[in-house]
Structure 1
C-alpha cells in the first residue's frame, strides 16, 4: 500500500509504533552478529536498536520520506527502498523482523510478501513480526464507517487484520513452521487533545481519497472522534483500541538452532509497558490454534 507519510509528525507524535515493537524484537533468537533484515523499517528507530543489540542489520521500506529520516540518524546502516511484496537481497539473512507492517499489505498480496521473506532467509532462518490482529481498532473503523455514511460516502477499511489460525495457515503454505503466536489487546495512548483525529489523519488518509474538500474531511474526522469520546477518551487522554498479533516462525530446512524462545514463553505474557488489557493468547504449532 503506497501512501505519503508525514515523516516529521510520524516521528514526533507516533513514537509508540517503534516503542511497542521492542517486545516483538525480543523474540529474535538468532545470536549476536547474525544478519537481520528490518522489513518495513520506517524511520529506522528499531533498526538502530537491533544494531545496538549486536546484529548486522539492513532496513527496507517503501517510503522515501521515512527512509530519509532513517538515513539521517543512522548513516552507518544500509537502507533499501523497496516493496515488501517484491524484493530480493544479494545475500540471505538469518532473521527477518517486521513491526506494524504486515497489516498494510492486502490479503491477496500476503503470499507474495511471504515468498519474498522466505527467499531472503537462510534455511532455518526466523521470521519475527508484530501486526494488527483480528479486531484491531474495531471501534475506530466502525465510527469511521458511520461518519462516512452520514456524509454520503462509503468507507473501506484499508487493512488486513487476521487471527492466529488464519495467518499460521499462510505461513505454513509459504514454508514456515510457527513456533510462537499471541493475539492480545493493547489500548494505546495517543498524543494530545486531538490525538484521535491526528491518528485518523496519519493512518487513514487513503480512505479520504474520494473526498476533495478538506472541510468535509475534517468534519468526518470530528464526527468519528466525538462519537468515540465516551469509550476511547479517559482522564484527558485519547486511546486507540489496538489488538496485536505477534508471531515467530522458522523457515523449513536445516535447523539453525533457533528453537522455541528461551523460557518457553507462553501466550499469557502481559504486553510490555503495562498498557495492555485482556490477553487473548493462543499459540500456533506448539499449542492450540485459532
Structure 2
C-alpha cells in the first residue's frame, strides 16, 4: 500500500510567538514534552514496522518540532528506512542543522517558513544557504501579509534560484487583484492560496491514500475533518480506507486542498507534494502555472 500520513502529536510549544499564527500555543510542561516524545517514538516504531507498505510522512506539529532532539533523531532515523519514500516536517528553521548529517537526504525534506520579526533575516537566510550547501530538499515561504512583502522580495532575491519560495494567503485577509499580482510575481502558485477552494462533494485523496494521525493514534481523513476512521495501532483504520468526497464546504489550507483530485496540484508538485516543492521549481521568472482543463483556483 502507498500511504501518506500527516502526523501531529501533542506538542504545542513554539520558540516563536507570531501574532498571525492560527495555532493555539502553550508552554509545554515537562510532563507534556515527555508525553509528546513517547507518542512520537511510538509512531516511529509503527512506521518502521510497516515494511510491506510504502510510506510518505509529513510532520505538522502545532509547535516547533526541530528544536526538540526527539524530532531531529526520529526524522533522521525514518529517512534511512527503505520503505519510507519521503519524510518531511514544517519548521521555522530555528534549529541547529548538524543533525542532518545523520539523515538520508534522498528521502528527507524540509518545509521552512520565514517569520519576520521573530528571527533576524540574516540568520534565517544563512540557515537556508546552509541547507542548500548540504543538498537538503527544502522549500521556503512566508505568510502574505502586506508588511511581509518587502521581506519576501528580499528573500526571493537572496535565495538560490532553485529554491521554491511559496506564499500563503493570510487567514482572513482579502486581496485585491493588484495585491495578488504582487504576491504572484514572487510565487506563481499564489492564486491557489488566495481563495478557499470549494470542496463539498468533490473527490479527495484523504481517507483513501492520505490520512491524518494524532499522538494517540486516532486516524482521521485529514486535519480538518474530525470524524474518526479508526486507530493506527490496532489496524482498525485500514477497513475504513476508500475513495471519498469532501464533507466540508471549502478547504483553505495547502496541506488539505493539495489532495483534492479536482486540482492539478499532484502534477504540479510531482515528487514534492509533502515538502511543497513544484516539479518545475526554479527562478520564478521561468515558471508558469500550468492551468489545464479549466482547473483554475
Shared fold, TM over 0.5: no
Q: Which has the higher contact order (CA 8 A, sep 6+)?
A: 1
Which structure dedicates a bigger proportion of its chain to helix? 1
**TM-score, normalisation: structure 2:** 0.31
**TM-score, normalisation: structure 1:** 0.31
